[in-house]
Structure 1
Amino acid sequence: MSPIRKPYPSDVSDEEWSLVAPYLTLMDEGAPQRQHLLRELFNGLRYVLRYGIAWRAMPNDLPPWSAVYQQSQRWLAAGVFEELAQDLRALLRVASGRAEEPTAAIIDSRTLRSTPESGPRAGYDGAKRKRGSKLHMAVDTLGHLLALHVTPANVDDRAEVGKLAAAVQDATGENVELIYVDQGYTGEKATEAAKAQGVELCVVKLSEAKKGFVLLPKRWVVERSFAWATRCRRLVKDYERYADTLAGLHVVAFACLMLKRAADFVIQSA
């Protein structure tokens, strides 16, 4: 945090910064072209993500919006948050007494309503009765991010099983053997697409004898992860012009969530 301003709740803590700084330093800290503190640029990105403001509405006591935006795009293009999320996931799993890489995953999708910025690439989701974009996501059994990507909302979930399963295997070194899904992923094509990546789909069904809202075994974990993402107001709707930016900001959100937990673990271990 800059010494000349008051902190925002979204600012990165000292413990979090000690963990994330090595991933964000794309050039030497003393490079002559650097005009703003790297930590303040990261705080600017976190502010936009957490409070859902437009880039040009950046508070005046943070770096200029253009500098924060440009640096954020460099980070997203370099894939630093994907790398950070993978390392933090392994750390948190080991801290929880689990193996470094999971053997099971959970996948699901979430439809985000479109806005004027994202409208040209939006699709209509008949099941949710929304026009927008669909976020396809995979998490481990603790709810930590494994992989995600974005499509128009009219894309069938079954058609994305192969791509998502391949991304999961790439993130875990082909360690996942089982993927839990809901009844929207039934069918031979989805099963075969998963088998092609060396994983088995396990459809968790709601018993016909039960009525009303019921937590489905394993399946509720990914729903909780979606709920975590909605704490970031920028991710409540699809405000992005490009699908890659929407996916990248989701990765940033989950990386920041795991970063806080990892920092707490470091403090407790000290």
Structure 2
Amino acid sequence: MRTSYPSNLSDAEWETLQRHLPPLSKRGRPPIHFLRIIFDAIFYVLRTGCPWRYLPANFPPWQTVFYHFRRLRLKGTWTLLLRALHQTERERQGRNPHPSAAIMDAQSVKTVEESAGICGYDAHKQVKGRKRHLLVDMLGLPLPIYVTSADVHDTRGARCLLSGLAPFVPRLKKIWADAAYRGKQLADWCKEQADWDLEVVECDPGVRGFSIVPRRWVVERTFSWLSRNRRLSKDYERKVQTSETLIQIAMIRLLVTRLGRSDEPLLS
């Protein structure tokens, strides 16, 4: 009997996830391990923060789990899966699948010895590590995700984040950001890319301490969602592509939980 962990998928969540997965190839020998167990192992690593080699013995071998994690990344399956779940969640809440407004921000996190090959020093946040650049819709769900060293300025990271995005967000017109994205050059660049209107939302003058800033709190909440996963408390990954994938998987797990609850039958 397999041990159940809080990070494991419920039956309703697995059905929700399975509906959005591409069909399995019928070529080759049948798989030894069920795909659901592979996903449970990946979510376990994300939630607990344990290294791949420290996976409990009741999961498939760590080499098998990491192989599937990497294969799905290289095939772009994680990206397609997040996009499909994102659109489904927006439709469930009565919104258009494609957002018309978004919020942009960046978060600097520390690195460790294994991930020190690509890192820098963010003088503003006084953090040596990497920077996560996110563009989220009004529900706080990310559209593109881009990870750089922490010394990359937010305006430069914004160009990397938004480049090539226009075909995937045909209705996007408005982007809100904080004062780090201030400047006519970036605003003009957004206009040239897809006629996006970049508006900087700043704190009210004279306000000290913590205060909720309109629009910007949405992306801050997204960063707090990511921090629930211990694997994302720091950047432990050797490659920034792996870091981006783990952020995608964290949001996939969040969306599967929401959609799985909506599919569960009500108790009479």
Q: Same fold (TM over 0.5)?
A: yes
Aligned to 1:195: 191
Which amino acid in the other structure matches residue 185 of structure 1?
A: Y
Greater shift in the superposed pair: 80-89 or 158-167? 158-167
Please say if residues 23 and 80 of structure 1, whose CA atoms lie closer than 8 Å, have aligned partners that are also in contact. no
Within a 5 Å distance, the mapping from 1:113-192 to structure 2 comes to 113-172=110-169, 174-192=170-188
Which amino acid in the other structure matches residue 208 of structure 1?
A: P
Aligned to 2:59: 62
**Structure 2 vs 1, CA of residues 216 and 133 (structure 1 numbering), >3 Å: closer, same or farther?**
same
Q: 1:165: Cα distance to partner?
A: 2.5
Within a 5 Å distance, the mapping from 1:70-81 to structure 2 comes to 70-81=67-78
Q: Which runs of 5+ in 2 are unaligned?
A: none
Secondary structure class of the residue paired with 1:133:
strand
Aligned to 1:228: 225
Q: 1:193: Cα distance to partner?
A: 2.0
Secondary structure class of the residue paired with 2:231:
helix
Please say if residues 162 and 197 of structure 1, whose CA atoms lie closer than 8 Å, have aligned partners that are also in contact. no
**Aligned length in residues:** 266
Within a 5 Å distance, the mapping from 1:234-253 to structure 2 comes to 234-253=231-250
TM-score by length of 1: 0.93
Distance 1:167 1:267 in 2: 38
Aligned to 2:107: 110
Please say if residues 138 and 168 of structure 1, whose CA atoms lie closer than 8 Å, have aligned partners that are also in contact. no
Q: 1:83: Cα distance to partner?
A: 1.2
Distance 2:10 2:199 in 1: 40
Q: 1:197: Cα distance to partner?
A: 2.0
- Say what the alpha-carbon RMSD is for the aligned residues: 1.8
Deviations 1:222-250 (A, max 9, x none): 00000000111001101000000000110
**Structure 2 vs 1, CA of residues 95 and 186 (structure 1 numbering), >3 Å: closer, same or farther?**
same
Distance 2:205 2:50 in 1: 44
Please say if residues 150 and 247 of structure 1, whose CA atoms lie closer than 8 Å, have aligned partners that are also in contact. yes
Within the candidate set 202, 206, 209, 1:209 is matched to 206
Secondary structure class of the residue paired with 1:141:
coil
TM-score by length of 2: 0.94
Deviations 1:191-241 (A, max 9, x none): 122112220111111111322211100100000000000111001101000
Percent identical pairs in the alignment equals: 34
Distance 1:94 1:23 in 2: 15
Aligned to 1:15: 12
Distance 2:225 2:201 in 1: 22
**Structure 2 vs 1, CA of residues 72 and 88 (structure 1 numbering), >3 Å: closer, same or farther?**
same
Aligned to 2:94: 97
Distance 2:105 2:76 in 1: 23
Please say if residues 85 and 255 of structure 1, whose CA atoms lie closer than 8 Å, have aligned partners that are also in contact. yes
Q: 1:164: Cα distance to partner?
A: 2.0
Q: 1:266: Cα distance to partner?
A: 2.0
**Structure 2 vs 1, CA of residues 25 and 168 (structure 1 numbering), >3 Å: closer, same or farther?**
closer
Please say if residues 147 and 171 of structure 1, whose CA atoms lie closer than 8 Å, have aligned partners that are also in contact. no
Q: 1:170: Cα distance to partner?
A: 3.6
Which amino acid in the other structure matches residue 121 of structure 1?
A: I
Deviations 1:145-191 (A, max 9, x none): 1111111100000112233223543432x210000000000012211
Distance 2:207 2:167 in 1: 38
Which amino acid in the other structure matches residue 9 of structure 2?
A: V
**Structure 2 vs 1, CA of residues 167 and 259 (structure 1 numbering), >3 Å: closer, same or farther?**
farther
Q: 1:87: Cα distance to partner?
A: 1.5
The runs of at least 4 consecutive aligned structure 1 residues that moved more than 4 Å come to: 22-26
Please say if residues 93 and 100 of structure 1, whose CA atoms lie closer than 8 Å, have aligned partners that are also in contact. yes
Distance 1:164 1:268 in 2: 40
Please say if residues 161 and 194 of structure 1, whose CA atoms lie closer than 8 Å, have aligned partners that are also in contact. no
Within the candidate set 32, 46, 51, 1:35 is matched to 32
